[in-house]
Amino acid sequence: MPVLENHRLWQKTGKGYPPGRRILDADIFKEIVGDLDDEERSVLHWVLDGGGFRPWGEFTERFGDDMDESPYWQWHEPESLPGRLKRTGLLYVGMLNELQVAFIPADIREQLAEILSG
**pLDDT tens profile 31-90:** 889 999 999 999 999 999 999 999 999 999 999 999 888 877 778 888 999 999 998 889
Is residue 100 pLDDT above 90, yes or no?
yes
The residues facing 100 across adjacent strands are 95
Longest dimension (CA), the chain: 40
Distance CA 12, CA 22 (A): 9
Residue 101 class from Cβ within 10 Å (0-12 exposed, 13-18 middle, 19+ buried)? buried
Q: Say what the pTM is.
A: 0.81
* Residue 75, pLDDT score: 82
SS3 category, 58:
helix
Q: What residues have CB less than 8 Å from 21, skipping those under 6 apart?
A: none
> Could you tell me which residue, 3 or 99, shows the higher pLDDT?
99
pLDDT, average across residues 14-41 = 75
Is residue 6 pLDDT above 80, yes or no?
no
Q: What residues have CB less than 8 Å from 31, skipping those under 6 apart?
A: 12
Residue type, 14: G
* Residue 115, pLDDT score: 93
